[in-house]
Amino acid sequence: MMRETVLSPKARQGIAYWLELWGARELLFFLAWRDVVVRYKQASLGIAWAILRPLLTTLVFTLVFGKVARLASPSGDIPYLLLVLSGMTPWLYFANTVNECGNSLISNSSLITKVYFPRLVVPISGVLANFVDLGITLVLLCAMLVWFGTGIGWHILLVPVILITLMMLSVGLGLWVAALNAKYRDVSFIMPFVITFGLYLSPIGFSSSAIPEQWRGLYGFNPIVGVVEGFRYTLFGDRYPFEPWTLGFSLLLAVVLIITGVTYFRSIEREIVDII
């Protein structure tokens, strides 16, 4: 009788899986740090690009939407540059995280096919790596707020809620894209177009108040709208028009995406080595 050789451990279920994932935390932080180092290692300006990228993008949007399209700030005392930068800050984290999570399994295929570890570590490492860029952009935004003398009220206490919603939304969608990209490589070609369209369909260079009123309710179902508009509300307070239900919808969708994303990712986790 021939003996069967199992090359991978039995899939762990329930709490055992999450304990295994916690045990791989050192690998998680190593992969995240590696992504940060590799991203800027051979760039002559190094990590300065983490400041230049949002700043230059904001300046371009300010020129195009503010000067050419003449989309004014919803409140006269909110500088248009701050309006754009406050929208660009969460958007860049969202777009970069979804993109890096989506490509993480393919880019780490040599590691995945040689060593066993919880595969969920790979896409999550991209989430942590982007926290560095998000932190730097937040510092830049704070400097701009001080420069323009923008007062901060109690609404700033809502920032953790906004950031948690942003992270969950990014992770949930990123897990779906990563799992689908491992099975269907067409996803890697589609996602750049989706992210580009999402940039112009989201209130980054303008406020949702610029949308015609009859379409504003439908527009609020764009999940990034609640995050961006909620983030601006935490900075500018009641001076900025904000509909709380949009943030509630974004949070609800983020929870759904996290649950379904993890479930689907785990359903194909044992197949990843064969299909990647």
* Residue in the block written with tokens 């909110």: 78
Q: Is residue 9 part of a domain?
A: no
Q: Is residue 269 part of a domain?
A: yes
Q: Is residue 101 part of a domain?
A: yes
CB atoms < 10 A from the CB of 239, how many?
18
Q: Is residue 260 part of a domain?
A: yes
pLDDT of residue 133: 85
Q: Is residue 180 part of a domain?
A: yes
d(CA 35, CA 96): 12
pLDDT of residue 234: 93
pLDDT of residue 32: 84
Task: Provide φ and ψ at 60, rounded to 5°.
Answer: -65, -45
* Number of domains comprising the chain: 1
- Domain extent at residue 196: 15-275
For residue 115, what is the DSSP state? S
Q: Is residue 123 part of a domain?
A: yes
pTM of structure: 0.86
Q: Which two tokens stand for residue 148?
A: 């323009």
Per DSSP, the residues of 181-240 read HHH-THHHHHHHHHHHHHHHHSTTSS-GGGS-HHHHHHHTTSHHHHHHHHHHHHHHGGGS
Q: Is residue 122 part of a domain?
A: yes
Q: Is residue 251 part of a domain?
A: yes
| Ordered per-residue pLDDT tens for the chain, 276 residues | 445 444 444 556 668 777 887 888 888 888 888 887 777 776 666 667 778 888 888 888 888 776 655 665 665 678 888 889 999 999 999 999 998 888 888 887 878 878 887 888 888 887 888 888 888 899 989 898 888 888 788 888 999 999 999 999 999 999 999 889 888 878 888 888 888 888 888 888 888 887 888 888 888 899 899 999 999 999 998 888 888 899 999 999 999 999 999 999 888 877 777 677
